[in-house]
């Protein structure tokens, strides 16, 4: 499938998530809702993996590019950051380990679920 069409599908889910978030006034970001909608579409076969694979792989392999603008913007607040740098590092370390644990538990849980579904 054409990579631009794949990108359009990804943007459509993101846009739908934003619409739902704003329309229902949910406290969840639209991008998160869009990811959940994409997951549901993949699980129920509405969208196949081959419909998103090339563009998804491209975006994942170039993810660091998307962090350049926020990092440069952070330089404008160097005086504020210098006064709280220790707290920022602590918060980042704690959130890193919590994300790591939740991701690993999710993988273990999904693998167990897939194993159960294949057995019976």
Question: Is residue 98 a part of any domain in this protein?
Answer: yes
Please state the pTM of the whole predicted model.
0.61
For residue 45, give its domain range.
Answer: 1-61
79 and 112 belong to one structural domain: yes
Q: Are residues 44 and 93 in the same domain?
A: no
The answer to the question of residue 89 being in a domain is yes
Q: Averaged in consecutive runs of 10 residues, what is the pLDDT profile of the chain (120 residues)?
A: 90 94 92 92 90 90 87 86 90 96 95 88
CA angle (16 as vertex; 14, 22 as ends), nearest 5: 100
Let me know if residue 101 belongs to a domain: yes
Q: Structural domain tally of the chain? A: 2
Residues 95 and 49 both lie in one domain: no
Residues 45 and 83 in one domain: no
Tell me: the pLDDT tens digits for 62-92?
988 888 888 888 888 888 888 898 998 999 9
Calpha distance 72→62 (Å, rounded): 17
């Amino acid at each position: 499938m054409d990579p631009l069409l794949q990108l359009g599908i990804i943007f459509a889910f993101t846009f739908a998530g934003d619409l739902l978030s704003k329309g229902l006034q949910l406290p969840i970001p639209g991008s998160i809702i869009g990811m959940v909608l994409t997951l549901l579409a993949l699980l129920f076969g509405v969208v196949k993996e081959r419909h998103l694979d090339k563009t998804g792989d491209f975006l994942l392999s170039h993810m660091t590019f998307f962090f350049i603008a926020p990092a440069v913007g952070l330089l404008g607040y160097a005086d504020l950051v210098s006064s709280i740098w220790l707290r920022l590092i602590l918060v980042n370390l704690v959130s890193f380990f919590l994300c790591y644990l939740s991701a690993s538990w999710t993988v273990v849980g999904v693998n167990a679920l897939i194993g159960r579904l294949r057995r019976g």
